[in-house]
Amino acid sequence: MRNIIVEDLKQTPLEKQRIEIVERKGLGHPDYICDAVMDHISIRLSKEYLEKAGTILHHNVDKSLLAAGETELKFGGGIVKQPMLFIFGDRATSEFNNTKIDIGEIAINSAKEWFKKNMRFIDPEKHVKYQVELKPGSAGLVDIFKRKGKVLGANDTSAAVGYAPMTKTEKMVLKTEKFLNSKEFKQRFPESGEDIKVMGFRTNCNLNLTVAMAFVDRFINSEEDYFEKKAKILEEINKFVKANNDFENVNVELNTLDAPGRGLGGIYLTVLGTSAESGDSGQVGRGNRVNGLISLNRPFCSEAAAGKNPVSHVGKIYNVLTYRIAQNVYEEVPEVAEVYVWLLSKIGNPIDHPAVAAAQVIMKGNNSLDKVRCEISDILECELENIDKFCIELAQGKIQTY
């Protein structure tokens, strides 16, 4: 029997609270890059392990540092003086039954593949150096992968929490960044770099969005040209936000550090479209939660999901699964206004039998939790029973974790 708890949460739904703060680090942000690349490496390793060993072997590639390089900005196009350094760290199996697995090559090729696909101006051969620090795992954690069963044992004692539904603010922040980093937007505004961060601050029904967007210097001819193009992009953001929200008032600000009259020092320019080229380094786990947002009003797990193995590391599996379960509860039980799902593992225990699986529920109106308690419990039971299928989706990269 699984230890499943469903309880009433006496709390005002976030949508009705006075203050809400939500952040989204976009595609070219250094922290996003680290999460995305390391998870891509995990997916590629899982595929290689399945081909060579018939199963996913031990790996946790959830430690990395993208150390900023050095560039020289110039109107009309600057230069890269020192490339970025991408350090891949933690653990991965490099041998199985006397068959060597070149984890270093897989890591570097995976990173180059991601850069080519997602960053228009980064040449992964010239603009990034790579340092592989992936070592064999500890005997105890490696042994988990040798044990038989439908699912593996948890490789850590860890907790995770997910929630549903997203608020209007959360949806707006997420949609705005995705719009600004869409192919269609980049075609119309090629000067817009991929390094975009959106911060949303809601007070009652009023929303303020602060957008930081790296501009690409090859498309900017002068300080005057920068501010003209910035004004056009801000107008475009305002149009998008106006067409996609029902707040009473929305105020949008773009690159608020800018100071006219200060030349290159008073505007946000990059050579490659990301601050990682010279201004800011990145790390796994400092970016978005697994639903793509940093929502400061919500509880969240401190574990970095990106790069962890998808079959025994609960820091990844439970982190993502809690959001799926919460969404299913919200969609399937209409009496629910808001739900938080918690999963706690015990190291060594099968991942489908957590130490506790709990749902904290805020009901709509005068609805009683007692009437739907069993229905919610059944949803948790079903998701845990089918966790092996969920892990396959994670291993195949069908579920984004950043």
Q: What's the confidence (pLDDT) of residue 139?
A: 64
Rounded to an integer, what distance in angstroms lies between the CA atom of residue 323 and that of residue 336? 15
In CATH, what number is assigned to the domain containing residue 371? 3.30.300.280
Q: What's the confidence (pLDDT) of residue 369?
A: 97
Of 1, 98, 13, residue with least CA distance to 53 = 98
Q: What's the confidence (pLDDT) of residue 142?
A: 75
In CATH, what number is assigned to the domain containing residue 209? 3.30.300.340
Q: For 147, left (φ over 0), alpha (ψ -120 to 50), or beta?
A: beta
The domain in which residue 339 lies consists of 4-12+156-167+287-395
Q: Are residues 216 and 313 in the same domain?
A: no
In CATH, what number is assigned to the domain containing residue 110? 3.30.300.10
Q: Are residues 265 and 319 in the same domain?
A: no
Q: What's the confidence (pLDDT) of residue 140?
A: 62
Domain presence at residue 402:
no
Q: What's the confidence (pLDDT) of residue 265?
A: 95
Rounded to an integer, what distance in angstroms lies between the CA atom of residue 313 and that of residue 152? 9
Domain presence at residue 109:
yes
Domain presence at residue 19:
no
Q: Which of 283, 307, 328 is the last residue of a domain?
A: 283
Domain presence at residue 306:
yes
Domain presence at residue 151:
no
Q: Which of 265, 283, 301 is the last residue of a domain?
A: 283
HEC sequence for the chain: CCCEEEEECCCCCHHHCCEEEEEEECCCCHHHHHHHHHHHHHHHHHHHHHHHHCCCCCEEEEEEEEECCEEECCCCCCEEEECEEEEEEEEECCEECCEECCHHHHHHHHHHHHHHHHCCCCCCCCCEEEEEEEECCCHHHHHHCCCCCCCCECCCCCEEEEEECCCHHHHHHHHHHHHHCCHHHHHHCCCEEEEEEEEEEEECCEEEEEEEEEEEHHHCCCHHHHHHHHHHHHHHHHHHHHHCCCCCEEEEEECCCCCCCCHHHHCCEECCCCHHHCCCCEECCCCCCCCCCEECCCCCCCCCCCCECCCCCHHHHHHHHHHHHHHHHHHHCCCEEEEEEEEECCCCCECCCCCEEEEEEEECCCCCHHHCHHHHHHHHHHHHHCHHHHHHHHHCCCCCCC
Predicted TM-score of the model (pTM)? 0.95
Q: Are residues 265 and 344 in the same domain?
A: no
Q: Which of 246, 263, 283 is the last residue of a domain?
A: 283
285-303 pLDDT tens trace: 999 999 999 999 999 988 9
Q: Are 186 and 120 in contact (CB under 8 A)?
A: yes
The total number of structural domains in the chain stands at 3
Amino acid letter for position 177: E
155-199 pLDDT tens trace: 999 999 999 999 999 999 999 999 999 999 999 999 999 999 999
Task: Give the count of beta carbons closer than 10 Å to the beta carbon of residue 134.
Answer: 22
Q: Are residues 119 and 178 in the same domain?
A: no
Domain presence at residue 24:
no
Amino acid letter for position 55: T
Domain presence at residue 340:
yes
Rounded to an integer, what distance in angstroms lies between the CA atom of residue 195 and that of residue 271? 12
Q: What's the confidence (pLDDT) of residue 149?
A: 74
Q: Are residues 268 and 337 in the same domain?
A: no
Amino acid letter for position 342: W
Q: Are residues 163 and 213 in the same domain?
A: no
Q: Are residues 67 and 120 in the same domain?
A: yes
Q: What's the confidence (pLDDT) of residue 137?
A: 77
Q: Are residues 214 and 81 in the same domain?
A: no
Q: What is the mean pLDDT of each run of 10 residues along the chain (402 residues)?
A: 96 97 98 98 97 94 97 98 98 93 98 98 98 84 75 94 98 98 98 98 98 98 98 98 95 98 97 96 96 97 94 97 98 98 96 98 96 98 98 96 94
Q: Are residues 123 and 45 in the same domain?
A: yes
Domain presence at residue 214:
yes
Q: Are residues 180 and 278 in the same domain?
A: yes
Q: Are residues 160 and 297 in the same domain?
A: yes
Q: Are residues 163 and 297 in the same domain?
A: yes
Prior bond of 165 cis (ω within 30°): yes
